[in-house]
Amino acid sequence: MTKQTPAEPIRIATNGADAPAGSPLTEPFTLTVDDVLISLGASRTGLSESEAIDRLQRHGPNRLPSSARRNPFLRFLAHFNNVLIYVLLAAAITTASLQHYIDTSVILAVVIANAIIGYIQEDRAEKAMDAIRDMLAPQTTVLRDGERRAIDTADVVPGDLVLLEPGERAPADLRLIEATGLFIDEAILTGESVPVEKSVDALARATPIGDRTCMAYSGTLVTNGTGRGVVVATAENTEIGRIGGLISRVQTLTTPLVAQMDVLARWLTILILLIASVLLAYGYFVGQLPFDEIFMNVVGLSVAAIPEGLPAVMTIALSVGVRAMARRNAIIRHLPAIETLGSVSVICTDKTGTLTRNEMMVVTALTQAGLFAIEGHGYDPTGAIHPSPASNTLAELGRAAALCNDAALRLSGSTWQSIGDPMEGALLAFSAKTEVDISGWSRRDEIPFDAVHRYMAVLVEAPDGRHSIMVKGAPERVLAMCKTQRGDGADVPLDQDYWQGEAHLIASKGQRVLAFAMRDATVDGFGSDQPDGEFTLIGLVGMIDPPRPEAIGAIEECHAAGITVKMITGDHAGTASAIGQQIGLRNPTSVLTGADLDARSDADLAQAVLDTNIFARTSPENKLRLVTVLQAHGLTVAMTGDGVNDAPALKRADVGIAMGVKGSDAAKETAVLVLADDNFASIAAAVSEGRTVYDNLRKTIGFELPTSFGEAGAITIALILGLALPVSPLQVLWINLITGITLGLALAFEPTEPGTMQRPPRARETPLLDATLGWHIVLVSVLFVLAVFGIGAYATAKGYPHALSQTLAMNLLVVLEIFHLFFIRNIFGTSLTWASAKGTRVIWTCLALIVPAQFIVTYWSAAQQVFGTRAVSVVDGSVIIAIGVAFFAILEAEKQIRLSLSSRAGPVHE
Ligand code: ATP
């Protein structure tokens, strides 16, 4: 763990005497650290903010040019590239050749309207995806004006001093100036997946890119250790930029279910074409009908039956879902996750920052002199200590807290903020309250914190030149390194049991406990030394991190939704249990630690994972094992993570969730969902939206298919029985045109149904088109056919001309579709509520288009000529509405009976 020192220069290469400071350097790996800094006009304390702004203007943002979007016209044309549309186009060409120009134009209108909707929607979806990508814009920690700052990676400029930590990707090409146990995975650049150890030594000019150990190239991933590097090239001047940029991750707007429906729609098309050809042959050869007439009938049938709008509407439902989730801070990185989210049955979540606020404050300190209560607000470095600290050991604790620390406190307006780890910010505030003086102390080396070892150590030099090592970390880790404890005068042997007991006591109040220890050192660096058993314990601190109030509500919501919430934390068992209690986890007193997990066989663990909801002091390997064991029970597991080592568990989980704020790049890249605000409540929101999207997909299918089948069924029966057609082919085309582009679309925008989060999760393997939905499709199709023939019989009984009979049937079909739409909005509850009757804005916009259009087609003489319609009397109009009401009543009664039967039989797994 030795800090690398610069070697002798091998060759000094500059960009030429007149190169402006901050221009990308050629071959910076051949320069010593000092020469690189000089050439770039940079320093070890970073650029000044004004210089950085100036350089940003000169060099432009550190972003690779995004690949150009396809020509809009070509994108529009792509919407015609679909088997369903080919059939419609073929029908248009044939009708035109038969000189049925009106039919041709209506078919073309259907096709073009579909393409326009598809195009607009795709455009909106792409924009939404772009916006989401911006929400995920990576951040980089740099030093500016000597202070740590988290900035957008796009704002990084040549000369910036970047701080590297495990899990982060290098934001630009960096010449390393410090490397502490730093390993970088350069697979993205060299294909070599074994991480390379880095140093700061200058190298020979001929060194190939994979061996340039003093460089961290843009896009490569830090797997271990920490480092600092000065930016030598940004954007397209980086190595990755030069080789054509990162393979841009293209998000295709499809999921397994949509793909399934796409296939189903194609098979349906083929089936419909087969039936149509049989009917054509039958009508022509057996029925002896003129070809022209029978052909038009068959065209009407095919257009009616082909669910041309279905794939588009399903895609729209998904993209509406993606946007709804993004509004609720849950960013979908991988579209199929939307479907999986709806079936999540267990959520395994971190504690710190997800269930708690990650706003820490030290409230307790314990040294041999006793227990101290620390007062104050947030990160404000002022506050009283009770009893008043006359203790040297408390001052020593305060010093260690400040020196073994990478954070900084900054006053922003009137509030103090922590720059860096909130826990370390809290330690700085605590240190300031002890009024200890740390001026003149300097850090010589460090062992950075990592979640596996759970401690951090620094080697510091006191103003008098003496060296010492200070360590802070999880009490059991630090206590294990200690032999003695700081006494009033001399050090005394360590009382392990006492400190362990006290640590547990503080933790049981929900406080996070850290222990501090130190020992003298003789060397200037850690070398290969690991902190050993020779340390002296200074004391403990306890800090609060209040639970997020919204997380409490979200956990309750999850429980109501049949989802178990489990906390998997790196923290102490006592702290985890106390927080679990505060936020309402079930069975919070039973806790398993990482060590307990390691000690159990898979068989033992199988039952324990179901009974236990809190897992403390866990390692990333424990997380992976927990996911696997839970999945073995058939559960759909969502798992959160933030560190580089969490990636395997995130990948294994059904829904891997990364933290947007404190998560590492590696975790975000593996996760399918990223939380913009790290908040547990956003997971619950995402599950609710996931369920909504799934429901809307089902509703769309449940609406579109019976519409197609009902219309097509009526025509087919008439053709087979040799009856006059109940609706003319042109009228069928018309119905398809207006309802296809309005009503069907409305379902994609349906809001969450009440009670969505009171249902148990759907089983993963449930097919989208299950028995319930299949039955609904059959029932509605049959009701459509009966209604159409029923109104035909009514018209015949009244002695109406055939044209009026067809007009009544056409209007009836539209009315039935409207009633069906209002019905299908509530598949899990009653549709007879004011909220369902009120509908949504999208629905009323559709109705505002359809109703006048129907009036025009029915009553306007010019339209009557074209569509062969007749004016409908008020009485007949009322009969149509009455049939619509009866249709709605039948469907609602059937649903209520079905729901009450299934609720008596047990929970519905819709
Ligand atoms: P969660 O997994 O719920 O986010 P966590 O933040 O407590 O919990 P880790 O970050 O893995 O999980 O920390 C585990 C333990 O390591 C902490 O409880 C603490 O004792 C110790 N620890 C955390 N951060 C540091 C640090 N910067 N320096 C020293 N020790 C630390």
Q: For ligand 1, is residue 876 a contact (CB within 6 Å)? A: no
Lowest mean pLDDT among 136-145, 226-235, 817-826: 136-145
Give me the pLDDT at residue 13, please: 35
- Among 472, 462, 445, which residue's Cα sits nearest to residue 520? 462
pTM of the model: 0.81
Q: What does the angle CA 728 – CA 734 – CA 738 come to, to the nearest 5 degrees?
A: 150
Three-state secondary structure call for residue 107: helix
pLDDT confidence of residue 647: 84
CB under 8 Å to 706, separation ≥6 — which residues? 776, 777, 778, 779, 780, 781, 784, 820
The answer, yes or no, to whether any atom of ligand 1 lies below 6 A from the CB of 514, is: yes
Residue reference for tokens 């950085």: 52
Is 406 annotated as catalytic? no
pLDDT at 14: 38
Alpha carbon nearest to ligand 1 atom 16, residue:
454
Please name the residue whose Cα sits nearest to atom 18 of ligand 1.
Answer: 571
CATH of 275-325+690-905, one of 1.20.120.1200, 3.10.290.20, 3.30.70.100, 1.20.1110.10: 1.20.1110.10
Find out whether the beta carbon of 662 lies less than 6 Å from any atom of ligand 1.
Answer: no
Residue 581's pLDDT is what?
Answer: 94
Quote the ligand 1 centre to 50 CA distance (angstroms). 36
* Three-state DSSP state, 764: coil
Instruction: Point out the ligand 1 atom lying closest to the alpha carbon of residue 353.
Output: 4
pLDDT in tens, 277-295: 888 888 888 878 788 888 8
pLDDT at 129 (0 to 100):
67
Average pLDDT over residues 398-416: 91
The reply to whether ligand 1 has any atom less than 6 angstroms from the CB of 456 is yes
**Probe residue for ligand 1, chosen from 348, 458, 514, 583 as the CB with the greatest number of ligand atoms within 8 Å:** 514
> What CATH superfamily classification does 361-544 receive?
Calcium-transporting ATPase, cytoplasmic domain N (3.40.1110.10)
CATH 3.40.50.1000 is the classification of domain 337-356+548-684:
yes
Residue type, 327: R
Domain boundaries, the chain: 28-65+138-248, 72-125, 275-325+690-905, 337-356+548-684, 361-544
CA distance 815 to 739: 10
**42 closest CA partner among 162, 182, 198, 201:** 162
pLDDT in tens, 674-700: 998 899 999 999 999 999 999 998 888
What integer pLDDT is reported at residue 10 of this predicted model? 29
Per the structure block, which two tokens stand in for 864?
């009557």
pLDDT for the residue numbered 24: 60
Asked if omega into 387 is within 30° of 0 (cis), the reply is yes
Q: What is the number of the ligand 1 atom nearest to the C-alpha of 513? A: 20
Residues 667 and 642 sit within 8 Å (Cβ to Cβ)? yes
The per-residue pLDDT for 91 is 83
- State if residue 570 touches ligand 1 by the CB under 6 angstroms criterion: yes
Q: How distant, in Å, are the alpha carbons of 380, 722, 783 from that of 709?
A: 69, 19, 11
* Closest residue CA from atom 4 of ligand 1: 352
pLDDT of residue 909: 40
The residue with tokens 């679309």 is 745
Distance from Cα 867 to the centre of ligand 1, integer Å:
73
Query: What's the average model confidence in pLDDT over 559-583?
Result: 94
Q: pLDDT digit string (tens) for 188-240?
A: 777 777 889 999 999 988 888 888 999 999 988 898 888 999 999 998 888 87
473 lines ligand 1 (CB under 6 A): yes
Measured between alpha carbons, how far is 426 from 446 in angstroms, rounded to an integer?
20
Instruction: Specify the residue with its C-alpha closest to ligand 1, atom 26.
Output: 449
- Residue 16: the pLDDT is 39
Q: How far is the CA of 388 from the centre of ligand 1 (A)?
A: 29
Contact assessment for residue 648 and residue 622, using Cβ atoms and an 8 Å cutoff? no
Is pLDDT of 414 > 50?
A: yes
Distance (Å) from CA 183 to ligand 1 centroid: 22
Question: pLDDT digit string (tens) for 766-789?
Answer: 777 788 889 999 999 999 999 999
Mean pLDDT of 825-830: 77
Highest mean pLDDT among 52-66, 493-507, 817-831: 493-507
Ligand 1 pocket, residue 453 CB under 6 Å: no
> For the residues 388-398, what does the mean pLDDT come to?
84
Give the pLDDT score at 11. Answer: 31
Q: For every residue of 442-491, which 3-state class applies, written as one string? A: EEEEEECCCCCCCEEEEEEECCCCCEEEEEEECHHHHHHHEEEECCCCCC
454 Cβ closer than 6 Å to some ligand 1 atom: yes
Between the CA of 272 and the centroid of ligand 1 the distance, in Å, is: 62
Q: Which range has the worst mean pLDDT, 190-194, 227-231, 534-538, 721-725?
A: 190-194
Query: Which CATH number does 28-65+138-248 carry?
Result: 2.70.150.10
Question: Cβ(451) to ligand 1 under 6 A?
Answer: yes
Q: 188 Cβ partners below 8 Å, 6+ apart?
A: 219, 220, 221, 240, 246
Nearest CA to ligand 1 atom 12: 570
What's residue 593's pLDDT?
Answer: 94
Over 50: is that where the pLDDT of 879 sits?
yes
CB of 189 closer than 6 angstroms to any ligand 1 atom: no
Query: Phi and psi for 505 in degrees, rounded to 5?
Result: -65, -45
Q: Which atom of ligand 1 is nearest to the CA of 404?
A: 28
Check pLDDT > 70 for residue 254.
no
State the catalytic residue, choosing from 201, 350, 654, 695: 350
CA of 890 to the centre of ligand 1 (A): 60
